[in-house]
Amino acid sequence: MEMDSLCSNGFVLDSFLCSVVQAVVAEATIAAAAKSLALSCLMFSCVWSSALGFL
């Protein structure tokens, strides 16, 4: 009986850690995509300004 309890607690802990890791990876991916988008917008803005002669 006690062994079943330990196994189920281990399964819950393993699932929880897996969920935490997935959340961290998703957050890092979103942050990287946001930085990439911001850099792309900045570069486009600089190119556009240069093409119009504002720089």
C-alpha Rg value of the chain to the nearest Å: 24
pLDDT band of 54, cuts 50, 70, 90: low
Question: What is the per-residue pLDDT for 1?
Answer: 43
Question: Between 38 and 54, whose confidence is greater?
Answer: 38
Question: What is the per-residue pLDDT for 17?
Answer: 80
Whole-angstrom Cα distance, residue 39 to residue 42? 5
Task: Spell out the residues 6+ positions from residue 46 whose beta carbon is closer than 8 angstroms to its own.
Answer: 55
What is the reported pTM? 0.60
- Is the CB of residue 49 less than 8 Å from the CB of residue 55? yes
Instruction: Give 1-53 pLDDT, tens digit per residue.
Output: 444 554 566 666 678 788 888 999 999 999 999 999 988 888 888 777 776 77
What six digits make up the tokens of 7? 């196994």
